[in-house]
Amino acid sequence: MAPRVVVIGSGPAGVRAAQALVEAGLRPTVIDEGRRDGGQIYRRQPEGFSRSYDTLYGTEAERAASLHASFDALKSMIDYLPETLVWNISPNAVHLVSGTRYRTLAFDSLIVCSGATDRLMPVKGWHQAGAYSLGGAQVALKSQGCAIGSRIVMMGSGPLLYLVAAQYVKAGAQVAAVLDTSTLMQRVAALPRLLAIPAALKKGIALTRVLTQARVPVHRGVQPVEIKGSPHDGVSGVEVALPGGERIEIACDAVALGYHLRPETQLADLAGCRFLFDADTQQWLPQIDDDGRGSVKGVYLAGDGARVRGADAAERSGRLAALAVLHDHGMHVEGMERLRRELARFTRFAAGLRAAFPWPAKFAASLPDETIVCRCEAITAGELRRVVRATGAQEANRAKAFSRVGMGRCQGRYCGHAGAEIIAAAASVPLASVGRLRGQAPVKPLPVALTEASIEAASTEASAEISE
């Protein structure tokens, strides 16, 4: 009997994984919580919008068109479940919700291609209306064709900082400044690794040219001080310290923040995969082999959800994980070695990006006590430090239980990394020993209208299917 393969995500990794499975004669199920396929980078605009591929995707227009065409061609050969959230995973079954409908689906192999989200470091005032993540600012532009404000500051570090700033400039928005916490020297030192993918490096340089031509002020090596504003009017400006210590304030009505990306790993966690501390990126990542096999038999991880290496690498790792599935089911496959070799170049390039735009771990220790760390639960850095000192909680989940940092609707996606840095600094322990927030189901909020009866009915159906 053909193996039942489920692919989570219809971004570059998920689409290429599904394509390889279909080529081998399988009919996979592809699940995505989004309304349309394409994932983050090749996010499709809503039906009824008619911007051209060039307008929407710029230099990536051809790649976007190719991915979309591939997925359109696959649709009759897969079971595609859009607008469907995978909210939990149990052994050999995924738990889904679509609208108010609950469903459980059994699988023999699961390929998780869940992508990444912004990696965020809090700054005083970032909870005010008008403060977005860089990814959020880009989604507003790509999906809805609107800007987050009329005078915008982009702050943080990483390729997305320059990409989103350039996209806003090209769309006609006023970018008041780009405030980068990394330095030019860090970028120069990373050059040998960045040269692993010369075309990507060239694209990065072109982005800075867009900003220069538009005369957008770019300050490097800054330390964020405060996002100014008021509860009534929202964001009114951003204050940073320049490398020499001088402080400047830039007036704006919106700010977009971010420090590169972090993989979405909750589903891997719920699937029971083992995690290891990655000293290079200073975070816990699911353990995978070169082909994307997780530590749990039958669970494979691909794309940015496993390792942040960009969209081209995601396409390759998605295909490679699918080939690994086929190989593990005893089918003949070709091309794995070539994909592994190509991915090694992207891994080197990604390491270069991390060195060029480092995660500013040290900022966490110096955050003023009144800075909100957990925006969902409105918990400050001072409260988290107090909890660590008063209770001796030096482990992330224990500190969460006492402080509620990471207990809100984002489940620690946006505050977890900074929270761990604050705990480590307050307890004077290494970051690795703080551990990581355990993934909890549901990974995202479920509709209240989901009735107990529908859950029970679906569970019975699923148990019958699994025992078959």
Ligand X SMILES: Cc1cc2nc3c(=O)[nH]c(=O)nc-3n(C[C@H](O)[C@H](O)[C@H](O)COP(=O)(O)OP(=O)(O)OC[C@H]3O[C@@H](n4cnc5c(N)ncnc54)[C@H](O)[C@@H]3O)c2cc1C
- What is the binding site for ligand X (CB under 6 A)? 8-14, 31-34, 39-41, 85-86, 113-117, 135, 138-139, 163, 261, 264, 267, 303-305, 310-311, 314, 443
- Least distance to ligand X, CB of residue 270, Å: 9
Whole-angstrom distance, CA of residue 263 vs CA of residue 317: 14
For ligand X, the closer CB: 92 or 117 = 117
- Inter-residue contact 162 to 260 (CB < 8 Å): no
Q: At what angle do helices 396-403 and 416-427 cross, to 10 degrees?
A: 100
- Least distance to ligand X, CB of residue 230, Å: 28
Q: What DSSP line would sit under 21-48, residue for residue? A: HHHTT---EEE-SSSSSSTTTTPPPPTT
For ligand X, the closer CB: 109 or 411 = 411
For ligand X, the closer CB: 226 or 290 = 290
Q: Which parts of 57-169 are beta strand (E)?
A: 79-81, 85-90, 93-98, 101-106, 109-112, 116-118, 131-133, 152-157
For ligand X, the closer CB: 22 or 311 = 311
Q: How far is CA 25 from CA 2, 4, 231, in A?
A: 9, 12, 57
For ligand X, the closer CB: 203 or 329 = 203
Whole-angstrom distance, CA of residue 459 vs CA of residue 103: 8
Whole-angstrom distance, CA of residue 311 vs CA of residue 322: 17
- Least distance to ligand X, CB of residue 49, Å: 17
- Least distance to ligand X, CB of residue 51, Å: 15
For ligand X, the closer CB: 116 or 147 = 116
- Least distance to ligand X, CB of residue 22, Å: 17
Whole-angstrom distance, CA of residue 182 vs CA of residue 158: 8
Whole-angstrom distance, CA of residue 234 vs CA of residue 271: 40
For ligand X, the closer CB: 187 or 385 = 187
Length of the chain counted residue by residue: 468
- Least distance to ligand X, CB of residue 118, Å: 6
For ligand X, the closer CB: 117 or 283 = 117
Please confirm whether the linkage preceding 442 is cis (ω < 30° from 0). yes
- Least distance to ligand X, CB of residue 271, Å: 11
Six token digits for residue 221: 């090596």
- Least distance to ligand X, CB of residue 57, Å: 8
- Inter-residue contact 262 to 119 (CB < 8 Å): yes
